[in-house]
Amino acid sequence: MIRNVFKKSKKSNKFDEYIKKYNISIDFMHINRKMVTRAMLVGFFIAFIPMPMQMVAVLAFLPFFKFNALIGMAIVWVTNPVTMPIIYYIEYLTGNFILMRDDIKDVEITLEWFSEHLDDIFIPLYTGALFYSITSAIFFYYLVNWLWIVSVRKERENRKR
């Protein structure tokens, strides 16, 4: 189970120095089921929204939800610079489908074209982004929660034997 991995790992003095230097609360780095599942919820929600500085947005949720900040910030890298164009295009197509719009034809990869067609792209893109943000966040929240519970039950059964 994941908590056993973190318990067995060697503590680093550099990590402790970093926490002290930047006055980071250790409360936001606990590894338990609730902290990890909430981190998945917030991380996947922010990951699929097209915006700059997604890791900062995850940190903005810390006062409202208590979750593992490191895992939440790591999750937003699902939409890294390599996967962003593909994911955002799928979100755009999904937004068009939800809004029952036609796709834009004759796409050019120039700043002029994007500035001229921003109104046609913006609403379908963010509609699709909200759809994927909400569904993926809820799906991974429950998936990780269920997997965590199943692994704890298996661990208890193994101890009883």
Compute the half-sphere exposure of residue 38: CA atoms within 13 Å on the CB side of its CA: 19
Mean pLDDT of the chain: 84
Q: Is the pTM of this model over 0.75?
A: yes
Per-residue tokens: 81: 């610079």
pLDDT at position 3 over 60: no
The whole-number average pLDDT for the span 94-113 is: 82
The closest alpha carbon to 43, from 86, 84, 78, belongs to: 78
Whether the pLDDT of residue 42 is over 90: the answer is yes
